[in-house]
Structure 1
Amino acid sequence: MSATPSVSSVNETEIAKFEAMAAEWWDTEGKFKPLHMLNPTRLDYIVNQISAEFGRDTKAESPFAGLRLLDIGCGGGLLAEPMARLGAEVVGADAASGNIPVAQIHAKQSGLEIDYRHATAEALAEDGERFDVVLNMEVVEHVEDPQAFLTTCQSLLKPGGLMICSTLNRNPKSYLMAIIGAEHVMRWLPKGTHDWNKFITPDELFSMLSEAGLEPVDRKGFQFNPLLWNWRISEADLSVNYVTASVKPSVAEH
Structure 2
Amino acid sequence: MIESKLTELPERAGDRTNVGPPPIEAIRAGAGRRPRRRTAALSAVGLAAVVVAVGGTLLLAGGPILTNPAPPAASAPPVPAATRLVGIGHAAIAVPTQWAANKLGCGTPLKDTVIIDAGPQDLCHVDRPKGVESVLVRSGKPIEFHADETFQLDGARAERQRTTCTPRSINQVTVCSGTVFIPSLDVSFDASSSTNADEVHSILARIIIVPDKVGAPEPLFSESNPAARFSAQYADRLTALGLIPNIQTRKSPGSIPGNILAVSPSPGTMLTPGATVTVTAVAQP
Q: Structure 1 length as normaliser, TM-score?
A: 0.29
Using CA pairs below 8 Å that are at least 6 residues apart, which structure has the higher relative contact order? 2
Q: Structure 2 length as normaliser, TM-score?
A: 0.27
More strand per residue: 2
More helix per residue: 1
Larger radius of gyration: 2
